[in-house]
Chains A and B, each alone.
Chain A
Amino acid sequence: MKNKLKVYRAMHSLTQEQLADKIGVTRQTIIAIESDKYLPSLGLAFKMAKLFKVAIEDIFIYEKKGAEDED
């Protein structure tokens, strides 16, 4: 699973800390998501999509290969 969180964050001129505050997580979680080390829950993904006013699949891109291993 890839994501464009960093791109959308830059587009909205948000720092990692600001984004974390807005969606109610820690900055470490934002760092982990941006570096593809952690997959957010559906609820958190919806919060991000709502914040950036886009669809979830605009931020998160599902890649079939190796997706099962990313647990």
Chain B
Amino acid sequence: MDRKKYKKLRVVVTFFVGAIVTLAVVRNSYLLATAGVLTGMVFMILVRAKAKIRTDEREKTIQEKAANLTYAIFAPTLGIGAFLLLLPSKGGISVFRNGEWLYIESLGMVFAYLTLFLIVVYAISYNFLNRKYGGGGSEE
């Protein structure tokens, strides 16, 4: 199997998994969604291993830059989103006084913790990789 066929197959599997998840949402079935996603993942791992699809250094560089860009966009967006969702409830705006729109505050809390989690994971992985690639600074 060459790369083009592999990419086509990946698109087909993605649509298949998407359809299964949609069906699972309609039927309100967590099990179906989990099974669909896991089946898709296992199938792609097996195909990738069998076809010996090569991931070279250029692709790794692209993946690194894409991950970096995703972090640079996602973390501030999530942080600002959390701030904007939490701000009105703390500001004493009337609509929040009666306990209505309480879920907005909860959503803000979830966003805030997600932002924190993202930053912590980034910091830990940065430190780990920094040490791995000799950035410990212990050598003279």
In the docked arrangement, what's the CA distance between A44 and B57, Å?
A: 9
> For B57, what are the chain A residues with a Cβ–Cβ distance below 8 Å?
25, 29, 40-41, 43-44
Q: Say whether A24 faces chain B, with CB atoms less than 8 Å apart.
A: yes
Q: How far is the CA of A24 from the CA of B58 in the complex (A)?
A: 12
- A38 pairs with B58, CB closer than 8 A: yes
Q: Give the number of A-B contacts (CB < 8 Å).
A: 23
The contact size tier of chain A is 10 to 19
Give the size category of B's interface with A: under 10
Q: Is A14 an interface residue (CB 8 A)?
A: no
In the bound complex, how far is the Cα of B59 from the Cα of A44, in angstroms?
14
Q: Tell me whether A35 is interfacial, beta carbon within 8 Å.
A: no
- B residues near A28, Cβ cutoff 8 Å: 58
A32–B57 alpha-carbon span in the complex (Å):
12
Q: Which residues of A contact B58 (CB under 8 A)?
A: 25-26, 28-29, 32, 38
Given the complex of chains A and B, what is the CA–CA distance between A40 and B59 in angstroms?
A: 11
Q: Given the complex of chains A and B, what is the CA–CA distance between A28 and B75 in angstroms?
A: 32
Chain B residues with CB under 8 A of A38? 58, 61
Interface residue B50 (Cβ < 8 Å from any Cβ of A): no
Which A positions have Cβ atoms within 8 angstroms of B? Answer: 24-26, 28-29, 32, 38, 40-41, 43-44
